[in-house]
A and B are shown apart, each in its own frame.
Chain A
Amino acid sequence: MLTREEAKKITDRVLGFTTFPECSVSLRNSETCSIRYALNGVTTSGFQVAQTVSISVTKDNKTGSTYLSEFDDKSLRDAMRRAEQLSDITPPNAEFMPGLGPQKYAAFDNFVDTTAAARSAEMIPAVRTVIEGARAKNLIAAGFFIRDAIVTAVATKQGLFGYERSTDSRLSTTVRAPDGSSSGWASSQSPDISQVNGAAVASAAIGKCDRWRNPKRLDPGNYTVVLEPTATSDLIQLIGFNARAAEQGSSYLSKKGGGTLLGEKLFPDFITLRTDPFDKRNRALTVDNSGLPAAPITWIEKGVVKNLQYDRYWASKAGKQPTPYSSRVILDGGVESLDQLIAGVERGLLVTRFWYLRGVNYQTLQYTGLTRDGLFLIENGKVTSPVGNFRFNESPVRVLQNVLKMGVPVRAQGGEGEGMIAPPMVVKDFPFTSVSDAV
């Protein structure tokens, strides 16, 4: 992996190849080791090294961009010429923002050496635990164990230089009955690979598969649901706070007739949603995607919309400070366990996770998607029987408005998206619109 000094040398070299007044460079270097398995055996796996340098040059507000994977002087110089030539013929960008000067970034390093050093031999034991656990129950496991180490660096002609490195690891598994009558899923993720617990993942996925056999069919309709943390994450990670869309009338945060809902109380008192790039449970983030120092932001505080996200351009027009962007989302929860939440529900459905969520209306944030790998009926505070999957059409905004109770938040990541720190939660009136035969 590139050290700070090595990364700086490269970005300095790139910046030195242009005479344009504006140039920004970002560098990414990664090492990834992964094991993929299915049908109780390893299938495709690999060790991958990758690097990319991205360049944008601007003169007279005209910008050209390129990226490349070759870092020798000749290639970098050629790439710079290419970007400069693009800039020459591109019309001026009316929204161009000059490059940032030096910034003060937090000294936060969530880089775990054992994660960065792990190779197939170190990762196989966790996979073996899952496969052998499934086989012992006459079940079939498929899954994926990946760890990566990533270095990113940013630099501008105005003297900005930022460097960060991070590690992360994630094991997820799906355990299925050989006759296709049941399926269970679980995952574990951490910047520290030693915290990824193969036995816990195996036990949770096998348990789900055992309990979900031969689900019964219920009618679609509105149900009270208990969302496990992954299901919460699948939905709530879709909420954004873009100021421009809100002001321009195309967001759930737009006010009818003009203006935004900033400062309005849209959610119950106990809803606080924030981003924290320095939460140790997540991959480290110190530099946001525009070069600003990452910082914790509270978006919803006790039900009130507290902040909108202004990028540098929109902030300059609105007379505001730009908002550092961070995808490290945290929904503050409560103190109860999942079991305690279930115990408080008279009749409802317990959702393991959702799948294939796609936007139906980007203004209201209505999404459609399906339940997957474990849906159960709750009656009088107890999980009583497996239920067949449903499709839903719902907005995560309405979901947050309909939350009745939340439990202890944990890091969760489903099949799509980065995931978040999410609590289990009880939500009323969740609209399931059709049944799915999928198992």
Chain B
Amino acid sequence: MINRRTFIGGASAFALSNRLFAADTAATQPSADLEKLGAIALNEAKRLKATYCDIRIVRTRAQQVSVNLTPERGTGKTLEVPYAIDAGSFGFGVRVIVNGAWGFSCSPFVNTAEIARITGEAVSVAKANSVLQSKPVELAPVASYKTRWATPNEKDPFTIPLAEKLDLIRAATREVKKNDRIFSAGARLSFRSEDKYFASTEGSSIQQLYLQSGGSTSANAVDSARGLSKSRGFEAPPATAGYEIVPVMNLLENAARIREEVLEHLAAPPVTPGKKDLVLLPTHLWLTIHESLGHSTELDRALGYEANYAGTSFLTPDKLGKQRVGSDIVNVWGDRTNDRGLATIGYDDDGVKTTKFPLIEKGIFTHYQTIRDQAHLIGEKESRGCCYADSWASVPFQRMPNVWLEPGPRETDLDSLISGVDDGILIDGDGSFSIDQQRYNFQFGGDAFWEIKGGKKGQMLRSVAYQAKTTDFWTSCDAIAGPAYFAQYGALNDGKGEPVQLNAVSHGCSPARFRQVNVIRTD
């Protein structure tokens, strides 16, 4: 049996990254060693006439175990293909403002001489770029903090023996494969931690520990005679939490369910296209929220900072407080403080204490996601704490907070959403997703689809996707189930920026109903 003590306490006790971030859960102040390293960058930047500097010293750890059961070529015998990785990365990044321009540099060599050298590199970058600066960078005020923060958790996932994790996912794949008609089965558990130290010339010194846990299982079935291959998956809600969320994933029960549903999917008739009502479960709707409302309310997109890659937004600043995005029951929040949200953290990568704020109120667009160097551009006095860099080697910029849809009235349940549909589709799980660069036109598939006829859930369908315009779609939302149905799913790999960076973000919601959406039949 291996546990974290064997890994860290024994084998790696003297490695620099582990020593710097040595766990002391009772501590309320950042490590003195980290503070000393941070001060080198801040002092060097001041010496080189930078008007601002921050340094992030970051250690990440990623552990993943997965198992696939797959037929052997020629014999059809079931083979087990496991994969286990436990890996990490360690380094630092320095950001400066010189002559009103940003400069950034980074290195995997964490020592005093290198920190001073890299700070000089960042200053050189800023100086070179300042000749093409359109306006000097202006930072919104921020309070200074000297503190520590950690993701609330009951069980550090890295202390749980790997054998226990492997046993669970092996059992899940065996459960899926119990029916001989299943072609292949898979299961995965993954855990990620990010130890981050932030110091800035604004006086902040912040040490944080971020923990993320997730798991899934999947099934695939093939009908060679008909030339069809279909899959069905179960993705447990990924969360900032410890191992305590793993038992409640119910991987085995869900493995048994998807085993039957993938065969149903393989036998299902294709959808008849046309305008239909949709009832979307949280396992699916999270992604539609993400793409259509999450990205459109990013201020950097709206202003044109992302024009060359991710795109801009139909929600331009002149529409703030005026534009109707959804029906009166659509209330959407930006939030980096909510329980178990993937973007939940104590302080952002600008050193701003995170917060919760409305994005859409009663269907009207009311606020943007912002960071320190943007707030003044829309006349706001402070950042909303949405700054993030996905690595010590990446430049911090505006990333999405958790964006969630407020539940409907307590008495609205899933059955009442379905019973109000004459001709519609119930969709579970995420599938294909695509949206234009201003977040108007989108198309979503799903993982499983059931016909709704005369207010009742019927047979499974295949080859379903829906297309809509963001504002038409959300304005057609006429019912949202109550808080008892609220669930939070999310993305671990939301891409944005150049070079592209990945962000993890959650989107909570209850099941919701949308009227007369254009449904198409796919291949």
Q: Which of B81-89, B185-193, B359-367, B452-460 contacts A (4 or more CB under 8 A)?
A: B81-89
Shortest distance in angstroms between A60's beta carbon and chain B's nearest beta carbon?
A: 13
Q: Indicate whether A74 reaches chain B with its CB closer than 8 angstroms.
A: yes
Q: State whether the Cβ of B124 lies closer than 8 Å to any Cβ in chain A.
A: yes
Query: In residues 37-70 of chain A, which contact B (Cβ within 8 Å)?
Result: 37-52, 54, 63-70
Binds B, one of A211-219, A231-239, A364-372: A364-372
Contact partner of B304 (CB less than 8 A), chosen from A38, A78, A366, is A38
**Cα-based distance from A83 to B125 in the complex (angstroms):** 38
Chain A residues whose CB sits within 8 angstroms of the CB of B445 once the complex forms:
360
Segment at the interface with B among A86-94, A271-279, A292-300, A419-427: A86-94
B184 smallest CB distance to A (angstroms): 8
Q: A46-B125, A356-B437, A361-B523 are in contact. Are A437 and B14 (CB under 8 A)?
A: no
B131 touches A (CB below 8 Å):
yes
Min C-beta distance of B520 to chain A, whole Å: 6
Residue-by-residue, is B60-95 near A (CB-CB < 8 Å gives 1, otherwise 0)? Answer: 000001010011111000011111111111110000
| CB-CB contacts below 8 Å: A95-136 with B | 95, 119-121, 124, 127-128, 131
CB pair B124 A120 closer than 8 Å: yes
Q: From known contacts A34-B498, A41-B133, A248-B183, infer whether A48 and B74 are also in contact, taking CB-CB under 8 Å.
A: no
A363 touches B229 (CB 8 A): yes
From B135, B225, B228, give the contact of A257 (CB < 8 A): B225
- B467 interface contact, C-beta 8 A: yes
Complex Cα spacing A224 to B408, Å: 47
- Interface segment out of the listed B103-111, B238-246, B320-328, B340-348: B103-111
Q: Is the CB of A89 within 8 A of B224?
A: no
Stretch from A141-149, A157-165, A332-340 at the B interface? A141-149
- Nearest residue (CB) in A for B300 is A38
Partner of B436, one of A68, A124, A436: A436
Q: Which residues of B contact A143 (CB under 8 A)?
A: 308
Residue B440 lies at the interface, judged by CB distance under 8 Å to chain A:
yes
Residues of B within 8 A of A32 (CB): 499
Contacts of A128 in B (CB 8 A): 131-132
Q: For residue B70, give the distance in angstroms from its CB to the closest CB of chain A.
A: 8
Which residues from chain A contact B356 at a C-beta distance below 8 Å?
none
Do the beta carbons of A144 and B520 come within 8 Å of each other?
Answer: no
Q: Is A344 an interface residue (CB 8 A)?
A: no
Q: Which of B79, B132, B303 contacts A127 (CB 8 A)?
A: B132
| A38-B308, A356-B434, A438-B438 known; A63+B84 contact, CB < 8 A | yes
- Are A437 and B79 in contact, with the CB atoms below 8 A? no
Size category of the A interface is 35 or more
The reply to whether B108 and A50 form a contact with Cβ atoms under 8 Å apart is yes
Contact B134 A40 (CB under 8 A): yes
B107, B307, B316: most-surrounded residue (chain A CB, <10 A): B307
Among A86, A88, A172, the residue within 8 A (CB) of B86 is: A86
Q: Which residue of B lies closest to A40 (CB)?
A: B134
Evaluate contact between A86 and B222: CB separation under 8 angstroms. Answer: no
0/1 string, B121-149, CB within 8 A of A gives 1: 11011001111111100000000000000
Known A89-B163, A391-B441; contact A317-B72, beta-carbon cutoff 8 A: yes
Residue total for B at the interface (Cβ-Cβ under 8 A): 101
A173-181, A322-330, A404-412: which lies at the interface: A173-181
CA distance A50 to B91 in the complex (A): 9
- The docked-state distance in angstroms from the alpha carbon of A305 to that of B219 is 30
A residues 159-196 near B (Cβ < 8 Å) are 172-174, 176, 180, 183, 185
Chain B nearest CB, measured from A44 CB (Å):
5
Whether, in the assembled complex, A355 has its beta carbon less than 8 Å from a beta carbon of chain B, the answer is yes
With an 8 A cutoff between CB atoms, is A210 at the interface? no
Assess whether A437 is in contact with B125, with CB atoms less than 8 Å apart. no
The reply to whether the CB of A15 lies closer than 8 angstroms to some CB of chain B is no
Return the chain B residue nearest A41 by Cβ: B134
- Report the minimal beta-carbon distance from A109 to chain B, rounded to whole angstroms: 24
Cβ A256 vs Cβ B303 within 8 A? no
A144 to B308, Cβ gap below 8 A? yes
Is B437 a contact partner of A372 (Cβ separation < 8 A)? yes
Q: Tell me how far the C-beta of A252 lies from the nearest C-beta in chain B, rounded to whole angstroms.
A: 10
Chain A nearest CB from B229 CB (Å) reads: 4
Q: Mask for B291-310, Cβ within 8 A of A = 1, else 0?
A: 00000000000011111110
Alpha-carbon separation in the docked complex, A78 to B443 (Å): 47
* Contact A75 B15, CB 8 Å, known A41-B135, A176-B304, A358-B434: yes
* Interface contact B104-A39, CB-CB below 8 Å: no
B432–A34 CB distance below 8 A: no
Q: How distant is the Cα of A399 from the Cα of B54 in the complex, in angstroms?
A: 50
CB distance from B494 to the nearest CB of A (A): 13
Interface string of A390-404 (1 = CB under 8 A from B): 010101000000000
With a cutoff of 8 Å between Cβ atoms, the chain B residues found around residue A359 in the complex are 432
Contacts of B479 in A (CB 8 A): none
| Interface contact B162-A69, CB-CB below 8 Å | no
User: Nearest B residue to A146 by beta-carbon distance?
Assistant: B499
Q: Given B72, B108, B395, which contacts A49 in the complex, CB threshold below 8 Å?
A: B108
The CA-CA distance from A174 to B309 in the complex, in Å, is: 8
Contact with A along B94-105 (1 / 0, CB 8 A): 000000011111
- Shortest distance in angstroms between A124's beta carbon and chain B's nearest beta carbon? 6
Of the A-B pairs whose beta carbons lie under 8 Å apart in the complex, a sample of 15, sorted by A's number, is: A38-B305, A46-B125, A46-B395, A70-B16, A74-B15, A85-B2, A85-B6, A144-B308, A258-B224, A317-B74, A360-B432, A363-B229, A370-B436, A438-B438, A438-B441
Which residues of A pack against B, CB within 8 Å?
32, 34-52, 54, 63-70, 74-75, 78, 81-83, 85-95, 119-121, 124, 127-128, 131, 140, 142-144, 146, 172-174, 176, 180, 183, 185, 244, 247-250, 254, 256-258, 314, 317-318, 355-361, 363-364, 366, 368-370, 372, 389, 391, 393, 395, 415, 433-439
Pick the 6 closest A-B CB pairs, nearest first. A41-B134, A120-B128, A46-B104, A94-B79, A436-B441, A438-B436
Residues of B at the A interface (CB closer than 8 Å) are 1-2, 6-7, 11-12, 14-17, 65, 67, 70-74, 79-91, 101-108, 121-122, 124-125, 128-135, 161-163, 166, 170, 183, 220, 222-229, 303-309, 311-312, 314, 316, 393, 395, 397, 432-441, 443, 445, 463, 465, 467, 469, 498-499, 518, 520, 522-523
